[in-house]
Amino acid sequence: MSLFLVVALPFLGALLPGLMNSAGRQACAVVTFMVSLLALIGLLTHLPAVLAGELVTARLDWMPMLGLNVTLMLDGLGFFFACLILGIGLLIIAYARFYLAREDNMGEFFTYLLLFQGAMVGIVLSDNILLLLVFWELTSLSSFLLIGYWKHLPEGRQGARMALTVTSMGGLAMIAGMLLLGQIAGSYDLSVILQNREAIQASPLYLPALILILLGCFTKSAQFPFHFWLPHAMAAPTPVSAYLHSATMVKAGIFLMARMWPVLSGTPEWFAIVTTAGLITMVLGAVIGLFKHDLKALLAFSTVSHLGLITMLLGTGTAFGAMAAVFHILNHATFKAALFMSAGIIDHEAHTRDIRRLGGLRRLMPITCVIASVAALSMAGIPLLNGFLSKEMMLEEAWHTTLFDSHWLVPGLATVGALFSAAYSFRLIGHVFLGPVRDDYPAKPHDPGPGLWLPPALLVVLVVAIGVAPFLAEPFVKLVTASVLGTAAEVPSAYLKIWHGLVPALYMSIIAVLGGLLMLAIFNPALRLWDRTPRPEAKVIFEAIIAAAVALARGVIHRLHNGAFSRYAAIMAVTVVAVAYHAWATGTVGPVTRAPQPANALQIAGWLMLVAASCALALLHRNRLLSLILIGIVGLVVSVGFVYFSAPDLAMTQLTVEVVTIILLLLALNLLPNRTPVESSILRRTRDTVVAVAGGLGAMALSYHYLLRDTVAPSISEFHLANSYKGGGGTNVVNVILVDFRGFDTYGEIIVLGIAALLIYALTETLLSGPVRARLLNRKPDKPLAGDMHPMMMVVVARVIMPVVLMVAFYIFLRGHNEPGGGFIAGLVASIAVVMQYMSSGFAWTSARLRYPYHGVIGAGVLIAGLTGIGSWFVGKPFLTSDYTYVRIPPFQEFELATAALFDLGVFLAVVGAVMLSLESFSRLARRARVPEAEHPMDIDPSREMPDPKTAGV
Amino acid sequence: MEFLVASAIGVLTATGLYLVLRLRSFPVIMGISLLTYAVNVFLFASGRLTVGAPPILGDATSYTDPLPQALVLTAIVISFGMTAVVVMIALGAYLGADDDHVNDPPPPPDGTTPAEDAQ
């Protein structure tokens, strides 16, 4: 199976459970399981190639100019992580099916889970680091959704927010680091970067890049000092915790450190930062974890601690350390996922995760007890379990590591970490499962069905299998280690085995286990001491920082954005004028190249009308009906101006748009107050006048200078004029540009128009289903209504004229390619024909006779235009290439058939639909506010049979 | 002639701006319409002014610039859609709150905002 498909499957599959929610919980879970299984099988088909040491790649250019390509690569490391993600994912899906309660939305959960799974697989298979960043951010987002899945819990929301804040801040830093790295290496492809170890480490940008990338890794993998988000993310449902915090999300940072290991490691900087952070995290997490009473919090801090351990191993920069890290990633994923799932079982059955309220569960939940105890013993590092093996290797590596010139620092701290790790593991077993059976559990605990215990049990089988027979895992671990090391180092020859002889690591291990038992024995006094010690609480600090940032942002934003929109408009106008003036004053303006043309009386008359109408509008705008008339005059003069200046198409469009706009505004004015009250002071009006005059003068100066000069470069219009007939088959150049040369623009524009109409429709629906509906129904008209709502004269005229207008629209449409006209204008004219029926005969009468809903008309228009464009693909031409031919059907004359006409038909339909849908929505609003609809389209109709007054009473 | 068109654009801009700065939604919509005219005419004028030479191919020797016309034609139709949306929003706001002010009411003196995210 193609690597693309392996990555894409979870994303594609993520659509399914969300859509299948109504099919039931079982169906959702099965579909999710099958999707993951399919992806895993797809991955496994590459197993032979990976085992043979080959590099499986897949490449698709996305944005080559930016260096961003969809290049995927599968090597041992990627295969290992992808297996963990998909394999443990399968177990989690099965577990979640039985864990989630009936009231939880299962489709939503599995959709998020698959999104997350896809993003994780994307990270581990990316060859391009920019692509990797995209997936990296996707994991932050999808884990936010998963952690906050229980939206009703405030802890869930806060934990999700904190996780998102911390990990996405780290993600930002990492973007910068990756860009630097790409700059140094000259490529964003990992396979190239990994070959450039010397060049990268010698670069002066190495340290900044390293620090930024490590910030990303540390935040994701919860390393000190960013460890605090992980325990708070435990508010998530347990399947999420088990998945995100054992095998996947927190391992992403570890993965990246391993991936970058060949180029970034081995320097003193790497060693100092990574080893120190890892050591501190390991010890801190283990100590805090011991004293947590919440089972999941204990596991969370133990995860923090084990991640620190792995980080430290990667930090040492030796091949043996890398091998130990790989082995521990595998072991930790198995026992920790099993432990999280066991904690979930206990929570599910006993209704509490508080260790202080548990105990004695070994008799009540024997299966869970076995599973959890084996996993916990592995975590403690007890021989014959897999945790022991990698812990031994860690201690061995620590024994040889010298940090800050001290031979004892690393081994000592590593032993302390291991000691506390053993202690909390023993506490988990001792305080939860051992001890007397209590009689005050919140619910009666008992073992769950196999759906819940089987997934962790499978993992525990692995724990024991690897622990007893480490040689089974050895080839695989060495294979993965080889791909971590790359060309930087040789795979160590050491074997994975249980007995290494009396080496220092064994003594350290014995100290840790005995110390752990001792800690458990003195747990109560230690707890009292711990509770008395003052400690900084990370959540409080985090919230204080967030509060300070919010206060700062609020201070700045509220000062700028105080909700006074007219102030924004004034500031913007002044700024534009000032910037333009600055450009004018400092730049140079070319000489006048066009002679001003003389003005005649006609032009002056038109100008006077326009100026008079617009000035009157500004002065008399308080009378809203009058201002509608005045703006109509302005629109008419502009249309006439278009005719005069050789733009017949524009004039026709402007004229028809003017008609529908005025009707629309009239409909709105029906519901709005008729007058604008005087509110602003003289001072304010003066200020606004000054701003307006400045803006007007600026626009005027710009236009005047523009009109008297030629363009600097030759315009492309010559091309359009020359090719309109030859290439587009039409003599109306404007129309040919619209439907042919720039058809793609037009296509976008009709879509925008359609969206605007749908938006208006949606707003109307929202208004009519909300409280506005009641208000409209109770509304008293504030202006007297005409007694005769549908005058007979008007009804008759409108109906008679309807076919005539439609014929005009048809004519305008047909001739559009060669004479002024076209789909836009024809659409507007046809809409006017229908609007006239609405106005004369009433809403109810007209809509009852309407055969097609306007949404459908818009959709048909966009579809026809789009299909016309796609049609050119079938003859091997780009989208929207047009063609035309001349045909002759006797007895008609020869006429032209062009695909552009079909496209224009789409435009026509979209315009009709959009205009009508908007006007219809407005009139629906108005209709709610009115007295009941008249029974007949004409109030007085001589043809209607009047009821006989004599028989009516019988 | 050029001066007449330029000054017409200026007058449309000025009156449009003045109305946009008003406090109620209806005059603001009128102002936006006037500004739309101004912008459309300005874009149209970027093809320079030609009398009696429409871009309909025929026997004439010179034609006016067709490209700005095509651009303005769609701009006119789109501006209808925009006006309709703005009017709808204004109407919804007025019907919902019985208030057609453009600006938000000033915040209460204690400085709290009503939509505080509950932690």
- Asked if residues A66 and A130 have their Cβ atoms less than 8 Å apart, the reply is yes
A72/A391 Cα distance (integer angstroms): 33
- Mean pLDDT, chain A, as a whole number? 85
Distance from CA of A702 to the nearest CA of B (A): 8
Q: Residues B2-12: what's their mean pLDDT?
A: 93
Contact A734 B70 (CB under 8 A): yes
What is the CB-side half-sphere exposure of residue B5 using CA atoms within 13 A? 32
User: Is the dihedral angle over the CA atoms A540, A542, A544, A547 positive or is it negative?
Assistant: negative
For the ranges A95-99, A119-123, A550-554, the lowest mean pLDDT is seen at: A95-99
User: How high is the ipTM of this complex?
Assistant: 0.91
Enumerate the residues of chain B whose CB falls inside 8 A of the CB of residue A657: 76-77, 79-80
Find the closest chain B residue to A912 by CA distance: B77
Give the model confidence (pLDDT) of A517-526 as tens digits: 888 888 788 8
Q: Taking 70 as the threshold, does the pLDDT of residue A942 lie above it?
A: no
Q: Does A918 touch chain B (CB under 8 A)?
A: yes
Contact A672 B37 (CB under 8 A): no
A793/A382 Cα distance (integer angstroms): 99
Going by pLDDT thresholds of 50, 70 and 90, the confidence category of residue A759 is very high
Q: Where are the alpha helices (DSSP H) in A738-850?
A: 743-769, 771-777, 792-815, 823-841, 843-848
Q: Which residue among A607, A645, A716 sits closest to B49, beta carbon to beta carbon? A: A645
B20, two tokens: 């946009």
Q: Taking 50 as the threshold, does the pLDDT of residue A725 lie above it?
A: yes
Q: Which residue among B27, B64, B103 sits closest to A646, beta carbon to beta carbon? A: B64
Contact B15 A692 (CB under 8 A): yes
Touching B: A residues 720-779, CB under 8 Å = 720-721, 724-725, 731-734, 737-738, 742, 745-746, 749, 752-753, 756-757, 759-760, 763-764, 766-767, 770-772, 775-776
- Predicted pLDDT at A932: 53
Q: Taking 80 as the threshold, does the pLDDT of residue A515 lie above it?
A: yes
A642 in a domain, yes or no? yes
Enumerate the residues of chain B whose CB falls inside 8 A of the CB of residue A645: 44, 49-51, 64
Provide the number of structural domains found in chain A. 4
Contact A645 B8 (CB under 8 A): no
Q: Residues A857-874: what's their mean pLDDT?
A: 89
- Asked if residues A307 and A281 have their Cβ atoms less than 8 Å apart, the reply is yes
What is the CB-side half-sphere exposure of residue A782 using CA atoms within 13 A? 8
Enumerate the residues of chain A whose CB falls inside 8 A of the CB of residue B64: 645-647
Q: Are residues A173 and A121 in the same domain?
A: yes
Residue showing tokens 């196999």: A450
A138, two tokens: 């996707």
Among residues A259, A287, A316, the one where a domain terminates is A259
Q: Residues A345-365: what's their mean pLDDT?
A: 83
Give the model confidence (pLDDT) of B36-86 as tens digits: 999 999 999 988 888 888 888 888 888 888 899 999 998 998 999 999 999
Q: Are residues A302 and A222 in the same domain?
A: no
Distance from CA of A784 to the nearest CA of B (A): 20
For an interface test with A, give the residue of B3, B85, B95 to mutate (most A CBs within 10 A). Answer: B95
Q: Are residues A201 and A319 in the same domain?
A: no
Q: What is the distance of C-alpha A713 from the center of its chain?
A: 42
Q: What is the three-class DSSP state of A588?
A: coil
Q: Are residues A349 and A459 in the same domain?
A: yes
A557 in a domain, yes or no? no
Q: Taking 50 as the threshold, does the pLDDT of residue A936 lie above it?
A: yes
Give the model confidence (pLDDT) of A657-701 as tens digits: 999 999 888 888 888 888 888 888 889 899 999 999 999 999 999
Q: Residues A862-866: what's their mean pLDDT?
A: 92
Q: Are residues A308 and A181 in the same domain?
A: no
- Predicted pLDDT at A944: 65
Of all residues in chain A, the percent with pLDDT exceeding 70 is 96
Q: Taking 90 as the threshold, does the pLDDT of residue A829 lie above it?
A: yes
Distance from CA of B41 to the nearest CA of A (A): 8
Distance from CA of B43 to the nearest CA of A (A): 9
- Predicted pLDDT at A289: 86
Q: Are residues A447 and A429 in the same domain?
A: yes
Contact A661 B3 (CB under 8 A): no
Going by pLDDT thresholds of 50, 70 and 90, the confidence category of residue A953 is very low
Q: Does A636 touch chain B (CB under 8 A)?
A: no
A34 in a domain, yes or no? yes
A845/A891 Cα distance (integer angstroms): 41
- Predicted pLDDT at A782: 66
- Predicted pLDDT at A710: 82
Contact B66 A737 (CB under 8 A): yes
Contact A645 B50 (CB under 8 A): yes
Q: Residues A593-619: what's their mean pLDDT?
A: 90
The helix (run of H) or strand (run of E) holding residue A57 is strand A56-63
Find the closest chain A residue to B58 by CA distance: A731
Distance from CA of B88 to the nearest CA of A (A): 6
Find the closest chain B residue to A633 by CA distance: B34
Angle, CA of A578, A581 and A583, to the nearest 5° = 115
Contact B49 A631 (CB under 8 A): no
Find the closest chain B residue to A565 by CA distance: B103
Q: Which residue among A611, A764, A819 sits closest to B56, beta carbon to beta carbon? A: A819
Contact A925 B91 (CB under 8 A): yes
- Predicted pLDDT at B119: 40
Q: Are residues A343 and A399 in the same domain?
A: yes
A595 in a domain, yes or no? no
Among residues A709, A740, A773, the one where a domain terminates is A709
Enumerate the residues of chain B whose CB falls inside 8 A of the CB of residue A680: 22-23
Q: Residue A702 class from Cβ within 10 Å (0-12 exposed, 13-18 middle, 19+ buried)?
A: middle
**Which residues lie closer than 8 Å to A778 by C-beta, 6 or more apart?**
none
Q: Taking 60 as the threshold, does the pLDDT of residue A723 lie above it?
A: yes
A539 in a domain, yes or no? no
Distance from CA of A659 to the nearest CA of B (A): 11
Tell which residue, B71, B43, B96, B63, has the closest CA to residue A738: B71
Tell which residue, A452, A240, A245, A237, has the closest CA to residue A345: A452
* CB contacts < 8 A (A, B): 321
Q: Are residues A351 and A305 in the same domain?
A: yes
Highest mean pLDDT: which range of A374-383, A472-481, A945-954: A374-383
A531 in a domain, yes or no? no
Contact B63 A570 (CB under 8 A): no
B86/A823 Cα distance (integer angstroms): 25
A677, two tokens: 């009250």
CA-based radius of gyration for chain A: 38
A556 in a domain, yes or no? no
Maximum Cα interatomic distance, chain A, rounded to a whole number of Å: 122
Find the closest chain B residue to A725 by CA distance: B57
Give the model confidence (pLDDT) of A1-55 as tens digits: 788 888 888 888 888 888 887 778 888 888 888 888 988 998 888 888 888 878 8
Q: Residues A921-943: what's their mean pLDDT?
A: 67
Going by pLDDT thresholds of 50, 70 and 90, the confidence category of residue A954 is very low
Domain that holds residue A662: 563-587+600-709
Q: Are residues A252 and A353 in the same domain?
A: no
Q: Are residues A503 and A567 in the same domain?
A: no
* Higher pLDDT among residues A398 and A328, named by residue: A328
Q: Are residues A689 and A734 in the same domain?
A: no
A108, two tokens: 């939503």
Residue showing tokens 């999700």: A160
Going by pLDDT thresholds of 50, 70 and 90, the confidence category of residue A807 is very high
Q: Are residues A278 and A254 in the same domain?
A: no
A420, two tokens: 């506390």
- Predicted pLDDT at A952: 47
Q: Does B7 touch chain A (CB under 8 A)?
A: yes
Among residues A661, A681, A709, the one where a domain terminates is A709
| Cα separation values, A525 from A185, A339, A358, A530, A938, Å | 56, 27, 20, 9, 95
Q: Which residue among A566, A638, A715 sits closest to B41, beta carbon to beta carbon? A: A638
Contact A732 B77 (CB under 8 A): no
Touching A: B residues 70-89, CB under 8 Å = 70, 72-74, 76-85, 87-89
B80, two tokens: 């209808």
Q: Taking 60 as the threshold, does the pLDDT of residue B108 lie above it?
A: yes
- Predicted pLDDT at A809: 93
- Predicted pLDDT at A227: 81
The helix (run of H) or strand (run of E) holding residue A60 is strand A56-63
Touching B: A residues 390-449, CB under 8 Å = none
Find the closest chain A residue to B21 by CA distance: A566
- Asked if residues A410 and A275 have their Cβ atoms less than 8 Å apart, the reply is yes
Distance from CA of B36 to the nearest CA of A (A): 10
